[in-house]
Amino acid sequence: MQGSCLCGSVAYDADALTGPIVHCHCLTCQKAHSAVFASTARVERSGFRWTRGDNVRRAFESTPGKLRHFCAQCGTHLMAEWVGRDYVILRVASLDDDPGVQPAARIWTTHDRPWLQWHADVPAYDEGAPPVR
Ligand SMILES: [Zn+2]
Ligand SMILES: [Zn+2]
């Protein structure tokens, strides 16, 4: 599978996911992605290769030993890793290809913000902004 950042400067190649897709709601992921959760999945370290962007890729150590890799040009987070472990944690929404599986769980939902209610009846639209009223 191929993945890339918003501006296209950074890209990677990843073998099949080796763990389930999990939506992580932790506060650190919320801040890192400026989103209410980050969709994550493990890939064997040996099955992950950066293919583009060594010159613009940066890493932020959000917790001692945990590096979050992102494009310094556009800000997209692509992968995180615990140094020394035999897997990396893909930011699944950065994939350009369909991983072929559905998300299996949400974790750290105790960190959800008060305004975020998963079961609220919020209308959805195929594209664009909702009608102005
Ligand atoms: Zn980029
Ligand atoms: Zn998280």
Helix (H) or strand (E) holding 114: none
Distance, CA 38 to ligand 2 centroid (Å)?
Answer: 7
Ion ligand 1, residue ranges at CB < 5 A: 5, 7, 9, 71, 73-74
User: What is the CATH topology of the domain spanning 2-111?
Assistant: 2.170.150
Question: Rounded CA gap, 12 and 124, in Å?
Answer: 32
Mean of pLDDT over the chain: 94
Residue 128 φ/ψ region, left for φ over 0, alpha for ψ in the -120 to 50 degree band, beta for the rest:
left
Record the pTM: 0.90
Ion ligand 2, residue ranges at CB < 5 A: 24, 26, 29
Distance, CA 125 to ligand 1 centroid (Å)?
Answer: 27
pLDDT tens-digit profile of 63-122? 999 999 999 999 999 999 999 999 999 999 999 999 999 999 999 999 999 887 766 787
Judge whether 97 and 17 are in contact, CB under 8 Å: no
What is the arrangement of strands in the sheet containing 87-91, beginning at the earlier edge strand? 57-63, 66-71, 77-82, 87-91, 38-44, 22-24, 105-107
Residues 6+ apart with CB under 8 A from 123: 130
Distance, CA 74 to ligand 1 centroid (Å)?
Answer: 4
Which residue carries 């909702």 as its tokens? Answer: 130
pLDDT tens-digit profile of 110-125? 999 988 776 678 777 8
Distance, CA 24 to ligand 2 centroid (Å)?
Answer: 4
The domain limits of the chain are 2-111
